[in-house]
């Protein structure tokens, strides 16, 4: 029978029980040999839909993008019932999260050897922020190495990212990384760019279908792309699960219906996602692949003086503008007459050097506060205390067992109110969540002047060596829970295992 023609009497419609579904069902795995492979590789998955046999119509990418725009426009309407439903069940949700915090995950460990196709795989990989691009770069290297070890041809890569990803031989369809440091107004102005970006990816998926789509972090951009991929019969593995457990958890329903496999990085995430029928494999935190080779600092003594403080105001322009003045003000008030204390603002790279220098100049702090761009781990290793915003950098502090005070200044009173009523976690810093208690004092506020409680915590960090020593010892347990290095390699094997199972 000619390709694309149905048998007589076949309307093309399937019975309801056979229709493909958009989301995962708990415990479902591919039939036959694929089911055996999926079980052997240590995670649950489901069958990947077969690729289309005929080219997609030219209008289909436009229709898929229009569908995503409609979802985005109608999203606020759905809040009318989602918010009251969340508030009604919020106490139970917080109680469940406390149970999940104590769960010990099973780290993904593949069993057996990979058996990949003889032709090169086509992998679409995507990142939208600088931190995600670092993970994507390492993942591309790990995927190539895993394919070589399996005796398969080197995969072909295309996707979204910056120049660093292009230098790794990835065919770049667009660069959202350069837009990631903009605030809300910048995002609104860049809306045509992002719509064009999604349309370009949709056309590629509907034309030359990749074998798999691997988005890294950034669910705001990647969930629409993942839905488009699934509509084009492209399986999706999301590396770095979104933090829906902390904010607006109702979003996890759409997430579970979109991804074939989610790769978690924090130890309490598998239990939380499993409650909501999301297929997840825990690979551990990719940051440890870099930090694992770097020595941590020595355990501080109770009689050690605090001679050096590092200030970590974040990497985004808006976060730096909101937090750095308050952080320096708190240090200035807490240090009193101690003019020997060295205060250094540290940036992971030089991307925001001019902004930090302008803030220091406006505060007339250029002579009293230093600025270092690059060499983050070395700077942390020589400090006795850190004053840091909440973010991934806290894991660098954890690696060094460096005592710290964590702050985050809200942009508006409304944002502060929303955080107090809608956060489902007892703490907002990752280290405290890993510890299951408050090891780092944390403060979420909106007023520019530091509160008495914040000043007291900073003063204790500066003057109480016994507290710093106890804080450093208390960081051993969250560091243990974060798991071993090797997350990126485990992620690569999980991705290729899904390709094989499909």
Of 175-179, 205-209, 413-417, give the range with the top mean pLDDT.
413-417
Yes or no: say if 127 and 216 are a contact pair by the CB < 8 Å rule: yes
Q: What single DSSP character describes residue 262?
A: E
The DSSP secondary structure of 159-170, one letter per residue, reads EE--HHHHHTT-
Enumerate residues 6+ apart whose C-beta is below 8 A from 59.
none
pLDDT at residue 48 tops 50: no
Which candidate, 380, 471, 459, 462, places its Cα nearest to that of 429? 471
Is the per-residue pLDDT at 199 higher than 90? yes
**pLDDT of the residue at 151:** 93
157: pLDDT strictly greater than 90:
yes
Per-residue confidence band for 340, with pLDDT thresholds at 50, 70 and 90: confident
83 compared with 178, residue with greater pLDDT: 83
CATH of 308-482, picked from 3.40.50.300, 2.50.20.10, 3.30.420.40, 3.40.50.2000, is 3.40.50.2000
The more confidently predicted of residues 33 and 145 is: 145
**Does 451 score more than 90 pLDDT?**
yes
Closest CA to 215 of 207, 204, 206, 226: 226
- The per-residue DSSP string of 24-90 comes to --TT---SHHHHHHHHHTTS---PPPPPPSSPPPTTHHHHHHHHHHHHHHHHHHHHHHHHHHHHHHH
Mean pLDDT of 189-198: 85
- The reported pLDDT for the residue numbered 55 is 55
Beta-bridge partner residues of 386: 310, 404
Q: What is d(CA 290, CA 395) in angstroms, rounded to the nearest whole number? A: 12
Could you tell me if 159 and 225 are in contact, meaning their C-beta atoms sit under 8 angstroms apart? no
Give the three-state DSSP class for 408: strand
User: Hey, where are the domains in the chain?
Assistant: 26-290+485-501, 308-482
Which residues, in sequence order, are CB contacts of 77 under 8 Å at separation 6+?
none
Minimum mean pLDDT among 148-162, 178-192, 373-387, 481-495: which range? 178-192
pLDDT above 60: residue 74:
yes
State mean pLDDT over 17-29: 39
Mean pLDDT throughout 134-152?
95
pLDDT at site 296: 63
Taking only the tens place, the pLDDT of each residue in 221-257 is 999 999 999 999 999 999 999 999 998 899 999 999 9
Note the pLDDT of residue 56. Answer: 62
In this model, does residue 2 exceed pLDDT 70? no
Element (H, E) at 492: helix 487-501
Q: Are 323 and 291 in contact (CB under 8 A)?
A: no
Sequence-ordered alpha helix ranges (H) in 106-158:
130-149
State the pTM of this model. 0.83
Both structure tokens of 193: 């760019």
What pLDDT does 130 receive? 85
Q: To the nearest 5 percent, what fractions of the chain are helix, strand and coil? A: 50, 15, 40
pLDDT of residue 292: 66
Topology of 26-290+485-501 in CATH? Rossmann fold (3.40.50)
Given a cut of 90, is residue 53 above it in pLDDT? no
Alpha-carbon dihedral sign for residues 268, 138, 217, 279:
negative
Which pLDDT score is estimated for 220? 92
308-482 has the same fold as 26-290+485-501: yes
pLDDT bin (cut points 50, 70, 90) of residue 293 is low
- State how far the Cα of 496 lies from the Cα of 502, in Å rounded to an integer: 10
Would you tell me how many other CB atoms lie within 10 Å of the CB of residue 453?
Answer: 11
Q: For 207-216, what is each residue's pLDDT tens digit?
A: 878 999 999 9
């Amino acid at each position: 029978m000619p390709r694309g023609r149905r048998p007589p009497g076949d309307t093309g419609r399937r019975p309801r029980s056979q229709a493909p579904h958009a989301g995962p069902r708990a415990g479902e795995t591919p039939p036959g040999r694929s089911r055996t492979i999926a079980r052997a590789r240590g995670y649950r998955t489901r069958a990947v839909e077969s690729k289309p046999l005929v080219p997609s119509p030219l209008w289909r990418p436009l229709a898929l993008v229009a569908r995503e725009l409609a979802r985005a426009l109608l999203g606020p309407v759905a809040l009318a019932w989602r918010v009251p439903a969340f508030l009604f069940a919020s106490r139970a949700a917080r109680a469940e999260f406390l149970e999940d915090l104590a769960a010990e995950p099973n780290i993904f460990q593949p069993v057996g050897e990979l058996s990949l196709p003889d032709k090169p795989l086509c992998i679409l990989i995507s990142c939208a922020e600088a931190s995600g691009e670092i993970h994507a770069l390492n993942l591309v290297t790990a995927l190539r190495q895993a394919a070589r070890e399996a005796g398969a041809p080197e995969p072909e890569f295309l996707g979204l990212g910056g120049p660093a990803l292009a230098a790794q031989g990835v065919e770049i369809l667009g660069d959202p990384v350069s837009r990631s440091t903009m605030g809300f107004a910048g995002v609104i102005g860049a809306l045509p760019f992002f719509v064009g970006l999604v349309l370009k990816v949709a056309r590629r998926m509907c034309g030359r279908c990749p074998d798999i789509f691997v988005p890294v972090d950034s669910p705001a951009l990647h969930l629409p792309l993942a839905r488009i991929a699934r509509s084009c019969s492209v399986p999706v593995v999301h590396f770095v699960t979104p933090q829906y457990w902390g904010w607006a958890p109702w979003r996890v329903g759409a997430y579970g219906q979109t991804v074939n496999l989610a790769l978690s990085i924090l130890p309490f995430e598998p239990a939380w996602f499993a409650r909501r029928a999301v297929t997840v494999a825990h690979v551990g935190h990719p940051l440890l692949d870099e930090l694992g080779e770097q020595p941590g600092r020595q355990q501080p003594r109770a009689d050690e003086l605090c001679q050096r403080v590092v200030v970590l105001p974040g990497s985004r322009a808006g976060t730096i503008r909101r937090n750095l003045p308050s952080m320096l003000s708190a240090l200035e008030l807490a240090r009193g007459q101690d003019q020997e204390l060295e205060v250094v603002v540290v940036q992971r790279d030089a991307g925001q050097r001019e902004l930090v220098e302008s803030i220091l100049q406006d505060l007339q702090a250029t002579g009293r506060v230093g600025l270092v761009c690059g060499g983050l781990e070395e700077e942390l290793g020589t400090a006795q205390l850190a004053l840091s915003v909440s973010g991934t950098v806290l894991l660098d502090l954890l690696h060094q067992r460096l005592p710290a005070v964590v702050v985050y200044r809200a942009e508006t009173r409304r944002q502060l109110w929303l955080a107090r009523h809608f956060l489902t976690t007892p703490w907002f810093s990752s280290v405290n969540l890993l510890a299951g208690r408050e090891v780092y004092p944390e403060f979420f506020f909106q007023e520019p002047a530091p509160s008495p409680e914040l000043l007291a915590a900073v003063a204790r960090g500066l003057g109480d060596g016994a507290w710093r020593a106890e804080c450093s010892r208390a960081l051993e347990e969250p560091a243990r829970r974060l798991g071993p290095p090797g997350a990126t390699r485990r992620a690569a094997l999980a991705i290729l295992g899904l390709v094989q199972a499909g």
